Structure 1
Amino acid sequence: MVSSMRRGREALCLLLSLLLLSTWEVGSGQLHYSVLEEAKHGTFVGRIAQDLGLELAEPVPRLFRRGGRSAECSIHPEVIVDRPLQVFYVDVEVKDINDNPPIFPMAVKTIRFHESRLLDSRFPLEGASDADIGVNALLSYKLSSSEFFFLDVQTNDELSQSLSLVLGKSLDREETAEVNLLLVATDGGKPELTGTLQILIQVLDVNDNEPSFAQPVYRVKLLENAPNGTLVVKLNASDADEGSNSEIVYSLSSDVYSTTQTKFKIDPSSGEIRTNAKLDYEENKSYEIQVVASDKGTPSMSGHCKISVKLVDINDNTPEIAITSLSLPIQEDAPLGTVIALITVSDRDSGTNGQVTCSLMPHVPFKLVSTFKNYYSLVLDSALDRESISDYTVVVTARDGGSPSLWATASVSAEAPKASSRAMVGAAGPESTLVDVNVYLIIAICAVSSLLVLTLLLYTALRCSAPPPEGACGPGKPTLVCSSAVGSWSYSQQRRSQRVCSGEGPPKTDLMAFSPSLPQGPGSAEERQQLSDSEHIAKVLRDLMSLSEVTEILEYFIVD
């Protein structure tokens, strides 16, 4: 476009070299004219012949030739006049008009800025150009209003300027992803002409946002019999970043208990949490699951949330019955209200499903009495008649309050022996019922007592068979004497002078036991002599006390 304009100027200069008008100057055979660059064809520039002082009446026609041309804005044609030959120089100045607006290299410029760029970051811009000259080519720039950028213009010389786009406020792609600016270039002509450049700034993302959930805690209720693979909740975290910085991967937190991790699983891509094992309300009533959402940025950022799972109990446990028998068998003449057994019921379910009621089979002489929550007593409600029914089988039914209700049964077998089976012990003693255990105990006691008496008799016979140095009950110097209504026992300082004398009189239940004098051991006579009299007496006393205690215990059991 500029070259075509220049060619137009050359043609105009040729035209102006022939058409002379306007102001002129004569000096040393040179003429000076000026003309506007956009003058139309045939525009009057000046009178060369008149300005050169040539007589127009001269009969000889004088021929004018253009001697040369220049591409400059000042045209210097040479005018040659024949007859006589003369050369005149003409200077025609082509004056510029503001007919060219400023032009940028492109209409739209796209610039990419990372949102993490620091303040005062600069981006160079290429300025506009103007085909005009002089004042018409002097350009000024103005940037449209923006809270993020401003324009910095550095002037190198009169016609050279450096433009820079400067970041004045931090960018945040999540708030402002693009910034549109308009740069206007204005020349110095009259009237002013302008050129524009549209600047599109794209804010590039950095991983500066962590994934976030819609709520920090999700509360879910789930039936305890939910099948494996049941959907618990579908999480949908969001990330304000873009690209890989916004791609999210879900996982269970490492803080989650291992038991919880075995019960639930999470899909890394979709965020779906599903059951992974059987759930049991009686084993665990609730679970807390910590979930982590991590993006794929570098470095990765993560968000967290918690899922609180509450299990809903269903009636899947039957009641349990525990029976403790107290008064079995039941005496035929047992009074009313006699406690036969204690019954405890339980149910692992909760709420209504765990509320248990007990009942008996009809038409039995017993009833249930509630003593405490889930505790009952089975008591006699009416008189027993062994001649009618000797054995009773009582069925206890426990039923919970679930829907549908679950129940369990247990039975108690009760025998009613005749009242005449009682036995009397002693004329003056109290009445008591002899059971097999007491009979066996008495037999054992009698056997032990008989063995003890036999041992004492054998010992006495052996001792009395030895010839004493003094009479059987001869005089001596006893230091210890035990006597009772049935006999006496004496001890002297001589080691073999123990004597047992039997007395007369009615036998008593208090049986006296005496310390026997056993034969000497294999030790030497000196060693046996070392046993002092006091030690021997103490040993005899201990033996007597031990045997006395055994006798008293035997008497206690016999009397009872």
Structure 2
Amino acid sequence: MALLRRDSLITRQLLRLVLLHTAWEVGSGQVRYSVPEESKHGTFVGRLAQDLGLEVAELVSRMFRMVSKGRRDYFEVNLQNGVLFVNSRVDREELCGQSPLCAIDLEVIVDKPLRIFHVQVEIQDINDNAPVFSVNEQNLSIAESLTLPGSRFPLEGASDADIGTNSLLTYKISSSENFIVEEETKEKTKSLVLVLKKPLDREEIPAHHLLVTAIDGGKPELTGTVQLVITVLDANDNAPIFNQSVYQIKLLENAPNGTLVIKLNATDMDEGINKNISYSFTNHMPQTIKKNFRIEQNTGEIRVKGNIDFEHMTLFEIQVEAKDKGNPPLVGHCKVLIDVLDVNDNAPELAVTSLSLSVREDSPPGTVVALVSVSDRDSGDNGKVTCSIPPNLPFQLVSTFKNYHSLVLAEAVDRERVSEYKILVTARDEGAPSLSASSSILVPIADVNDNAPAFPQPVYTVFVKENNPPGAHLFSVSASDPDLRENAFVSYSVVERSVGEQQPLSSYISVHSESGHIYAVQPFDYEELQVLQFQVSARDAGFPSLCGNVTVQLFVLDENDNAPAVSPPGSGRGSPGPELVPLSAGAGHVVGKIRAVDADSGYNAWLRYEVQEPGAAGPFRVGVYSGEISTTRALEETDGPSQRLVILVRDHGEPALSATATVSLSLVESPQAVKWDSRQRGGSEGPLVDMNVSLMIAICSVSGLFVLVIVVYVGLRCHPGPEVMCEPGKATVVCSSEVGSWSYSQRQSRNLCVGESTAKNDLMVFSPNFPNSAENGEHEKLQGAQVSLT
């Protein structure tokens, strides 16, 4: 009968383990292996790389690594063949205690691309622990004759650290006519009892010495023994009796010392001293019970003595005996089962594993930044933990497996906006009140070259005087790049192009690659180049490199470096001869005109004519701005047969430059010729210009044309001209006068020849274009026209 009951119990336990294992296998969804406990180092566990679908040759290059939460490195992977093997001894009892399922969870991580696998290794129990009794000898006192057959006496059973069939114990007792041992199941526990088969006779056998053997269900089976000494007592025939054999109590963990658990009450039908009862724990009580509880000998009150911790012990089984004071004393027994109720007294535990030192700012959403594992020693709702991070961060927590979470990138990040993130991960349980724990993760953002160098303005305007020395510093440009290190190291260069008649830009200017300083390669000549527009490129050292451009407009300012050049209008019309001025000429009669030009611009090219020796001019004068030579009065014979005039032509530059022209005049009855002798800065003589016979016709023509020019000029002043862009080949200059300075202007020079002896003044015309409103985006310009009437 006992064997059948034992087989039925084994069958039920095996069925429960199979069902639990099947449910676990279906729900886990991961690679799972099993290995017996106490396996030696190097024991084969499984072909991990093959089962995960990984190439063995890529394990090192993909940074294959394995993480075991809160465990020693029980297992290791051979990176040469991808085999998972036992690294150190595993004791299932030390690792999982009496838990029916013992497994070690592993995280396998590979990079390029990043993947995370979950591996579970089940530790199989082996029968490596024999049944153990808490004492070597148990003593019982049983009264003779008064104890009826069938009476039951509780014994301290053995314990086995194994699980499953390896921990299923059966008991046998050495040969005896009076006693047998049985196991009885009450509530949640099993008890070993000694059953009396036949009444005792103290006179026949005063003491029984029996050997109780505990046998486990392992293969091979292991055994443990205890010596049972039964003393047969005489007389006192009523033992104390408790009102119930088993008491079930619920007690909150962390109950303070002195807390009353239960007050027991036993009664004895005897009288007198045989009725007086004292309470105590049985001698074979485990030390854990004696450490946490105490019993009042006279009252039967059981009170808390130590620290009751649900995480350490969830159920206490206390054997209590009530002994009367008869001679011999009789004993009554009861069992107190104390269920410890969990209190939320353990905060969650956080473990953070960072996968990399930094996150590139171009990392795509979904990039795994760190692994977070949480645990809570409490149970039920007190042990359910949720993880969270602050809102408004470009990260999120993704649950991966059981209590494992991955911190992943939720959206794109920009290092130039936020260079690093300090993320507070908070784990909170569902107890009342709830407890929490937190851990900070510092995530630096690594820079990528995503910003091109930028100049503070799109166009730079530079003014440079002509005749500058070669290598002179003209201007500096500077671009900024918000990236870091080489991504922000900026070098400068000129965007090469041709200037003028296929002259390379590099023959005019150069740019220092590091400082951005712009230097002149050669002196500028305003008469050849008035404006130079070019682009400077700023390029960073990133990969790939990025660049930005800026336009530089370099305006060459005119200097008075060209003296006036005198060109007699009559050269090339035959041989020059002495000029005969008719004696009949009256005051204001024009005898000739000096024409001079200046290669400069503005006031530097505005010419002034005067007689070098006014006292020697006689009856002649020269127009200050026209250069016309005319009489100041009627000529007389006393003026002499000839006159020699030295005309000084001077510009308005600073300092002023000049040239001279010598004119020889002969006074005769009829006009012949005028000889012009020109010197520039004391230079050589030029030919004289003959007076045209049709002088009067030319004067009339010039007068009419002059009136027409005045009308056109007035019309241009009333109607603004078109906008002129600054481009190579169009002379953009800066004009200045004695009454102020003007902005950029377009110079147009026209020589209108209206006669050789017309008495008219030069006309200097400047036509400014005033800037329009800022809404139409036009630039400010000023046009000027210099018209010389000769």
Picking from 387, 391, 403, the partner of 1:161 is 403
* Greater percentage in helix: 1
Number of corresponding residues: 394
The residue number in structure 2 matching 1:73 is 314
Q: How far does residue 78 in structure 1 lie from its aligned partner after superposition? A: 5.1
Match of 2:661 among 410, 427, 444: 410
CA shift in 2, pair 1:57/1:26, >3 Å? farther
* Residues 1:299 and 2:544 are matched in the alignment: yes
Residue in 1 aligned with 2:338?
92
Tell whether the 8 Å contact from 2:581 to 2:666 is kept in structure 1 after alignment: no
Partner Cα distance (1:53, 1:211) in 2: 105
CA-to-partner distance for each residue in 1:106-165, whole Å, 9 max, x for gaps? 6999973322122344445313222222321111223322263333335x4xxx233233
CA contact (8 A) 1:248 1:294 kept: yes
Relative to the length of structure 2, the TM-score reads 0.43
Q: Is residue 2:577 matched to residue 1:328?
A: yes
Query: In the alignment, what sits opposite 2:617?
Result: 364
Among 528, 552, 556, the alignment partner of 1:283 is 528
Alpha-carbon distance, 1:290 to partner? 1.0
The percentage of counterpart residues that share the same residue type is: 27
Q: Give the superposition deviation at 1:275.
A: 2.9
* Distance apart, 1:248 and its partner CA: 1.1
8 Å CA contact 2:492, 2:512 repeated in 1: yes
What is the CA deviation profile of residues 332-356 of structure 1, one whole-angstrom value per residue up to 9, with x for unaligned ones?
8666389876532111121111110
Aligned partner of 1:311 among 556, 566, 572: 556
Q: The residue matched to 2:338 in structure 1 has which SS? A: strand
Instruction: Choose the corresponding residue for 1:141, options 379, 387, 392.
Output: 387
Q: What aligned pairs does 1:3-402 form with structure 2 within 5 A after superposition?
A: 32-47=248-263, 50=266, 57-58=274-275, 64-69=282-287, 72-77=313-318, 90-105=336-351, 112-146=358-392, 148-154=394-400, 156=401, 160-255=402-497, 257=499, 258=503, 260-323=505-568, 324=570, 328-331=577-580, 336=585, 343-360=594-611, 361-362=613-614, 363-364=616-617, 367=620, 376=628, 383=635, 392-402=643-653
- Mapped partners of 2:331, 2:597: distance in 1: 144
SS of equivalent residue, structure 1 residue 164? strand
1:375–1:52 Cα change, 3 Å:
farther
TM-score computed with the length of structure 1 as normaliser = 0.59
Q: Is the Cα contact below 8 Å between 2:355 and 2:371 reproduced in 1? A: no
Q: Is the 8 A contact 1:101 1:195 kept in 2?
A: yes
1:69–1:76 CA contact under 8 A, matched in 2: no
Q: Is the 8 A contact 1:328 1:414 kept in 2?
A: no
Q: Which amino acid aligns with 1:186?
A: R
- 1:269 match: secondary structure: coil
8 A contact 1:217–1:306 mirrored in 2: yes
SS at match of 2:525: coil
Indicate the structure with greater strand content: 2
The residue type equivalent to 1:277 in the other structure is Q
* Structure 1 residue 297, shift from structure 2 partner: 1.0
1:275-307 per-residue CA deviation (whole Å, 9 max, x = no partner) reads 333222222112113100111111000001111
Structure 1: gaps of 5 or more residues: 3-23, 420-560
Question: Which residue matches 1:527?
Answer: none
- Residue pair 1:234, 1:271 contacting (<8 A) in 2 also: yes
Q: Counterparts of 1:534-545 in structure 2 under 5 Å?
A: none
Give distance in 2, aligned partners of 1:44 and 1:417.
Answer: 157
- Rounded to whole Å, the distance in 1 between the matches of 2:320 and 2:650 is 136
Which stretch of the first structure deviates more once superposed, 103-112 or 327-336?
A: 103-112
Contact persistence 1:327–1:339 (CA under 8 A): no
Note the C-alpha offset of 1:388.
Answer: 8.0
The C-alpha deviation readout for 1:167-215, integer Å capped at 9, x for no partner, is 3333233334344544332212222112223344433322111111111
Conserved in 2, the CA contact under 8 Å of 1:110 and 1:199? no
Q: CA RMSD in A?
A: 4.4
- In structure 2, C-alpha distance between the alignment counterparts of 1:84 and 1:402, rounded to whole Å: 141
1:105 is paired with a residue whose SS is strand
What are the within-5 Å matches in structure 2 for residues 407-556 of structure 1?
407-413=658-664
More relative contact order in 1 or in 2 (CA 8 Å, sep 6+)? 1
8 A Cα contact 2:427 2:437, kept in partner:
yes
* Residue 135 to residue 405, structure 1, CA distance change in 2 (3 Å): same
